[in-house]
Amino acid sequence: MGAEAVQDLDCGVLRTAEGDQDSLVRFVVGSGEPPKVVSAEEIGHLGDPLAKGPFASGLFPRTAQGVLDMLDQTVPNAAPADSQTSFIVGEGSQLPADNPRASVRTFLVTRTRVPNAGPEIVVAAQTPEAEGLVEVMAWDDSAGGFNYYQTTPGQPWILAGNSADALRSGSAGAGPFESHPSGNAIMKELRLPWVHWKSFRAPVPPAVAPQIAAHPWFMDAIGAETFEAQIQDSVRRWNRIRLDRAVTDDLVGDALRLLQPLFATPTVNLISADIEWSKVMRGEVDSFAAPIAFFLNAHALRDICGLELPEPDKLQVQSLAYREALTEHGITLRENGEPLVPVPSDTHFAFLVPEPAFEDTELLALAAPKKDDPDEGTLLSRRLIGCALMVDFANPVLSERRAALARHVTGDIPADGFSQRLGDAIAGSSEAGEEGAPEAEFAELWNAGEEGWKDLAQEGIAAYAEAIKNLLAGPEGAKEVFRLAQSRREQVSDMPIHSEVDFLFATPPAKLGERLRMSPGAQVLPVG
């Protein structure tokens, strides 16, 4: 018997759907269902502005501007025009204007209806008024979550699924849920200084995009700091629904998928140092603070678990040593291996690295007790979150040791006493008796009790902070930290978040090919 064909689960397969361009076709990649024209009656059951307005009226816009114009014509109150905001993202937006790759990659336009609830609609396109790829995320009040739509010239509109499809077997990780793994709206750089976005920290000059610089979407574009707030509100809205649906009949269903953020790295955000690379290159600063999220899961350990974190003075990278590291490895912005700017160079803001994704950290926060509230009545206790995240805590992303703890999450788990049951299962496992096992690391903290675990964790973080300071004080420290950062970047290059352009990160001519990790003693070591 011959080998079975491997199903194409990439988002690009959506473009193979055929049909009248004035129609809507449902095509949820990975679901096992073939593309199917959505009837007028079925459109009537969808609860998002695009379906209730243009599609229900038999209108199928061909441009991004057309989407918004037709919304105004058909359902003006569902996505009010006076709430519209536009944003600019482009990895080439900070390149010199005469560089052939200087460009704006995407416009994002949002409209909101309910304050602090996130956008009702997000439209993404390279140009406002020319036909091309148009992607829309539209909030469905009936089903909850976003409906994902897209169209290209000559193609019907595609309904690629709802946020809930990101969490279903088959469609999980397929189609749009490659890059939206939990069904959430995403923004790669979700914290200041937003490396690839127009913001108050990095204006985008009109010369980078002369063909569209006079369009209101460009002229009126506001900063990434506003989009950040919108995305955070949107993430919280869907995460609340997701969490509520996970607990049914007093059981936590599909607990392994729900707890991915506690153990694994389903996706990442990107964070950089708060310093422009040009200032580091010119020697205007002797050192700069590396982002704390590079060294540990700062936002979860501080904001959820209440632990104290290292001060920025312990995270100072020497500028000279960093420049030498980039020079030694031939680091610059590259496309297809060819430099776009001279060596050495970095992204507009220096030291861009992956950090734990906001959507994952926020899911843990929603499942945890609020500050000053008792743990009882919440799904995840601070103790469980803290003990899990402190396993291999010096590697806040891509930790194989922490990911191994997920083997103790099996089937549906009773919601009553969920954290206690899971913590006891890990700490009481046979692996917990094995020296060096991640379960043993977890058990040492867990067995210290409700308050004792925090004391042990705080001691570990304090010792780690001193070790980092000592590492960075020496001439080779920044080079070691660079090697670790590059290792993590290369691992992220295999994730969907890296899919749009080659020069998301500054890179060497060839991958370093090292899988590295940080130890609690601030030693950079091979994985394994």
Counting as low any pLDDT under 50, the low residues of the chain are 1-6, 375-377
Residue 408 and residue 360 share a domain:
yes
Under 8 Å between Cβ of 147 and 121: no
Residue 223 and residue 300 share a domain:
no
Residue 264 and residue 222 share a domain:
no
| Short-list 451, 291, 336, 331, CA closest to 387 | 451
pTM of the model: 0.94
The tens digit of pLDDT for each residue in 286-325 reads 999 999 999 999 999 999 999 999 998 889 999 999 999 9
Residue 265 and residue 211 share a domain:
no
Residue 425 and residue 312 share a domain:
yes
Please state the length of the chain. Answer: 528
Q: Does any domain span residue 129?
A: yes
User: What is the pLDDT at residue 2?
Assistant: 36
Q: Does any domain span residue 448?
A: yes
Read off φ and ψ for residue 202, nearest 5 degrees: -150, 85
Kindly state the tokens that stand for 43: 């459109």
Residue 305 and residue 199 share a domain:
no
Q: What is the rounded CA–CA span in Å between residue 419 and residue 404?
A: 18
Place of tokens 């003990």: 387
Residue 134 and residue 55 share a domain:
yes
Q: What is the rounded CA–CA span in Å between residue 180 and residue 95?
A: 28
H/E stretch holding 36 reads strand 36-37
Residue 385 and residue 305 share a domain:
yes
Residue 351 and residue 490 share a domain:
yes
How does 178-203 read in b/e, with b if 16+ C-beta sit within 10 Å?
bbbbbbbbbbbbbbebbbbbbbebbe
Q: Does any domain span residue 243?
A: no
Q: Does any domain span residue 5?
A: no
Q: What is the rounded CA–CA span in Å between residue 397 and residue 181?
A: 16
Q: Does any domain span residue 52?
A: yes
Q: What is the rounded CA–CA span in Å between residue 22 and residue 155?
A: 9
Under 8 Å between Cβ of 92 and 202: no
Residue 62 sits in which domain range?
11-230
Q: How far is CA 226 from each of CA 79, 84, 105, 209, rounded to the nearest angstrom?
A: 18, 12, 19, 22
Q: How far is CA 358 from each of CA 148, 198, 268, 299, 326, rounded to the nearest angstrom?
A: 21, 20, 8, 9, 29
Q: Which residues contact 315 (CB under 8 A, 6 or more apart)?
A: 289, 290, 291, 292, 295, 468, 469, 472
Residue 226 and residue 262 share a domain:
no
Instruction: Return the SS3 of 24.
Output: strand
Residue 263 and residue 213 share a domain:
no
Q: Does any domain span residue 252?
A: no
- The residue out of 179, 210, 230 marking a domain boundary is 230
The tens digit of pLDDT for each residue in 64-106 reads 999 999 999 999 999 999 999 999 999 999 999 999 999 999 9
Q: Taking each helix axis from N to C terminus, what angle separates 438-446 and 418-427, rounded to the nearest 10 degrees? A: 130
Q: Does any domain span residue 522?
A: yes
Domain count, the chain: 2
Q: What is the rounded CA–CA span in Å between residue 20 and residue 157?
A: 9
User: What is the pLDDT at residue 208?
Assistant: 92
User: What is the pLDDT at residue 411?
Assistant: 75
- The residue out of 230, 245, 266 marking a domain boundary is 230
User: What is the pLDDT at residue 313?
Assistant: 87
Read off φ and ψ for residue 526, nearest 5 degrees: -65, 145
- The residue out of 230, 248, 281 marking a domain boundary is 230
Residue 314 and residue 219 share a domain:
no
| Short-list 273, 266, 78, 65, CA closest to 182 | 266
Q: Does any domain span residue 251?
A: no
User: What is the pLDDT at residue 133?
Assistant: 95
